[in-house]
Amino acid sequence: MSKNVVLVTGAAGGIGRSICERLVADGYSVAATDINAEGLKDLEASLGGSLKAYPADQTDLAKVEALVAQAEKDLGPIFGLVNVTGWTHATRFETETADYWDKVIAINFTSLLYVTQPILKSMIARKAGRMVFIASDAGKVGTATEAVYAGAKGAVIAFAKSIARENARHSINVNCVSPGPTETPLFAEEMKDNPQIVERMLKAIPFRRAAKPSDQAAVVSFLLSDDASYLTGQALSVSGGLTMI
Ligand SMILES: NC(=O)c1ccc[n+]([C@@H]2O[C@H](COP(=O)([O-])OP(=O)(O)OC[C@H]3O[C@@H](n4cnc5c(N)ncnc54)[C@H](O)[C@@H]3O)[C@@H](O)[C@H]2O)c1
* Tens digits of residue pLDDT in 16-53: 999 999 999 999 999 999 999 999 999 999 997 999 99
- Rounded distance from Cα 186 to ligand 1 centre (Å): 7
User: Could you give the number of structural domains in the chain?
Assistant: 1
Is 244 exposed, middle or buried (CB count within 10 Å of its CB: 0-12, 13-18, 19+)? exposed
CB atoms within 10 A of CB 74: 12
Name the residue of 17, 44, 85 to mutate for ligand 1: max ligand atoms within 8 A of Cβ.
85
116 Cα: distance to centroid of ligand 1 (angstroms):
17
Residue 175 burial (C-beta neighbours within 10 Å; 0-12, 13-18, 19+): buried
CATH code where residue 73 lies: 3.40.50.720
pLDDT at 2: 54
Is residue 91 domain-resident?
Answer: yes
Residue 42 lies in a domain: yes
In a domain, 214, yes or no: yes
Question: Is position 150 within any domain?
Answer: yes
Average pLDDT, the chain: 95
Q: Which domain holds residue 228?
A: 5-238
Q: What is the pLDDT of residue 201?
A: 84
Cβ partners under 8 Å of residue 111, min gap 6: 9, 58, 59, 64, 83, 85
Residue 230 lies in a domain: yes
Report in angstroms the alpha-carbon separations of 28 from 77, 89, 224: 13, 33, 10
**For position 1, what pLDDT does the model report?**
43
Atom 1 (ligand 1): residue with closest C-alpha?
182
* Alpha carbon of 85 to ligand 1 centroid (Å): 5
pLDDT tens for each residue of the chain, 245 residues long: 456 999 999 999 999 999 999 999 999 999 999 999 999 999 999 997 999 999 999 999 999 999 999 999 999 999 999 999 999 998 999 999 999 999 999 999 999 999 999 999 999 999 999 999 999 999 999 999 999 999 999 999 999 999 999 999 999 999 999 999 999 987 887 778 778 878 888 999 999 999 999 999 999 999 999 999 999 999 999 999 999 98
- Asked whether residue 90 is assigned to any structural domain, the reply reads yes
| Of 15, 102, 189, best ligand 1 pocket probe by most atoms within 8 Å of the beta carbon | 15
Judged by DSSP in three states, 121 sits in helix
Q: How far is CA 135 from CA 29, 138, 180, in A?
A: 23, 8, 10
The C-alpha atoms of residue 62 and residue 53 are separated, in whole angstroms, by 17
Q: Is 149 a catalytic residue?
A: yes
- Residue 58 alpha carbon, nearest atom of ligand 1: 32
Centroid of ligand 1 to alpha carbon of 87 (angstroms): 5
Q: How crowded is residue 165: how many other Cβ atoms within 10 Å of its Cβ?
A: 12
With contact defined as beta carbons under 8 Å apart, do 240 and 206 qualify?
yes
